[in-house]
Structure 1
Amino acid sequence: MDLVGIGAISAAAVAALGVPAAVLVGRWQMRGALRAAEETGRAGIAQAESTYRAALDAVRTEADAAHLQWRRGIRRDAYAGFLLAMTRCVQAAEALPRGLLETSQVLSAAEDELTRAKNDLSAALWVVKLEGPPDVADIAGSVSSRTYELTGALARKAEYHRAASILYHLRSSNPTAAELDAALMGLAVVVSETGYNARPGSRQMPPQEVTEAVERATELHGQLSDDIGISEWVVLLNEALNYYTDPEALNRQLTSTVEQLLPSCRQALDARSSTDDLSLTTDL
């Protein structure tokens, strides 16, 4: 074989060997490219996830803050409405007429106003119970009970003053009325001196002095039954017996209970979060 033939065969052999090598190099290059693309893809996915989580956290934080602010506003309105209803209730009881009335319409209007105030207080308490938290609702319930006790005492005190006005005006024209007035004052003195407790729940038997004073006052009232009705007589007698709790004492109790409520309200409004709150973003 001449040199040309040998050269051709050698070239063909080299070419045959170069084809697999080129293929192998191409595969390596492709694998490297795929690996690089895979790493780039992973980095992109991680960056996307990080961006998504950051955006989700921002949305959650904003939603939680908005929900907390909304809940705080609802509770603040509930607490303020309850305290205002309590105040109006006491004011309505204090405004009940105490003097001798020319007409019954004035008294009826005042009593209707007190009834509306009590109903408003009851409704306001239910709003506080609905909004919570439980400790605030519990103390608000005590405030409501104290308020009803005070308004009841104020209503009885106003009724007593109206009855006393009737008796006072009768004294100038009826000696028996003057005697009854003196007998009731004497009964009050005896009750105070003997320490007799005639209030509900007490099982103390009245001393003889108290019994005799009540009998004397009742006898005198029998002579004035046409001028002093049974309802007026009952409140006059109960006042002399110190049967009801003094409104001043009940007012102090109410004030003390309100002072317990206010810090609980502030704590509920200032809390960053609360176990009784339901977050709107929990499932995001």
Structure 2
Amino acid sequence: MATDGESTADLIRAQLRRMRNAAGLSQEEFGRRAHFSPSMVSAVELGQRPLDDSYLARADEVLDTGGLFVRLLKLAKRDGEPLWFRPWLDAERRASQLRCFEPNLIPGLLQTANYARTLFRGDTSLTDDQVEELVAARLARQAILDRSDPPQFVAVIDESALNRFAEGCAEVMAEQLVHLLACAERPNISVHVIPRTVGLHIGLTGPFVLARSADGGWVGFMDNQLEGVAKDRVEDVATLLARWESVRNDALPRRQSIELIKELVRPWI
């Protein structure tokens, strides 16, 4: 849909300008009808303000597009995920169960916007717009947990991932742990912590996720610094399921895990 070198977000901005002009509307008149200031309209069209659902929903109404811009935004959010990740996204969306182990980070499906943004900003090769597209894509993935038929999501997290209250990110971590606690109280989400007293364990060799489809089949996913890889070979899935049983057995029960998270975040709130 977008041309080479042009993101879907760039295409949306260009089409917003084109369709506004075709309708004979100035930025001021368009803003008045959409209930936004002219300065906001200008900032959105120039890429100085991230695209969002509320703005584009109003644009669709004013320009009578039939919901085109909101649908395009969904594609823009998908653009925020690399091509190699998309097969796993499809498995994730179809899953009835998800099992995730993370030794270093909060799982992506449970991250706040600020936590994800801080992580992505660590890559100095990314522009601000690219960071925001990645954040939007990550938050969009979380919608599967809010469906009327959400997957049962079980996360096992090493305690070291929860205790990163260094200068400059303490506020972000506190917000993230409060959010994690709220997630852990939801009926379809279980969070378990491997306490630091466990010491060395097999999970420290790397994170992984397992997705179980409605027909009972499993797919695994492992991430690294450059890209991730989905695994569906019977032998590979069996290995990951065995690793899952190991880390799950090392983790605290649900209520004890919640109490540990509360203890970690208490001095920061």
TM-score range normalised by the length of the shorter chain: under 0.3
Pick the structure with greater CA Rg.
Answer: 1
| Between structures 1 and 2, the one with greater helix share | 1
TM-score computed with the length of structure 2 as normaliser: 0.24
Instruction: Determine which structure has greater relative contact order: mean sequence separation of CA pairs < 8 Å that are 6+ residues apart, divided by chain length.
Output: 1
